Amino acid sequence: MPGSTAVPLLLTDPGYLYAAPLASTEPTNTVAGSIFTDAWPVAWISLGATTEGSSFAYQTNVEAMQVAEFFDPIKYATTERNGSMSFTLANYTLHNLKRALNGGMGAITATSGTGATTLGTFVPPAPGAEVRIMLGWESFDNTTRIVMRQTIQGGEVSMEFKKAPDFAGIPCTFNFEVPASGAVFSVFSAGTGRFGS
């Protein structure tokens, strides 16, 4: 009997990016009709559009455990794990720049003026005073969510100011840390289709 291959369930969209202060309430992950139907809690704000979507990366390093009597490793032991979420924010705002430079989620108070005369100022925190944040991601089809519980931006924030159609984005690489809860991140799926086999 010839074999067959099922049509794959692809994930083909950039999804939605969210950020929140540490220890914020997470989504309840209510599922109906094979999709998430609950909204992200109020502490989570949308980071807006990105230039090319986002990239979730997680790496596990292992090293061989050897004994003199065998040529092959007896076992591999995990020696390190690290992860990150990277993206370039298209929404060029002082708040997004603040998040990219580890200033946290707090509001920026106007330095002076109101309305059209408002002046906003942000100064990056001193080394050691960086503010960690939570990150969230959800697919456009509302079937997949990722909650990253403690992150710090550690990539280069290099902005290019050019003429249109180019535009300045805010590149970010948020690295994962172990939060007080212990679970670095969780991936949630809605409906049996995303479970796979």
Q: Is 8:18 a contact under the CB 8 Å cutoff?
A: no
| Alpha-carbon dihedral 158, 163, 169, 170, rounded to 10 degrees | 40
| 98 neighbors 108 (Cβ within 8 angstroms) | yes
Cα four-point dihedral sign 181, 127, 21, 80: negative
DSSP state of 135: E
pLDDT of residue 194: 83
Give me the amino acid identity at 109: T
- Determine contact, residues 87/103, Cβ cutoff 8 Å: no
Taking only the tens place, the pLDDT of each residue in 22-47 is 999 999 999 999 999 999 999 999 99
Q: pTM (2 decimals)?
A: 0.90
For tokens 């503010």, the residue is 131
The larger pLDDT score, comparing residue 1 to residue 174, is at 174
Task: Give the pLDDT confidence of 39-81 residue by residue, as tens digits.
Answer: 999 999 999 999 999 999 999 999 999 999 999 999 999 999 9
| Mean predicted lDDT score pLDDT of the chain | 93
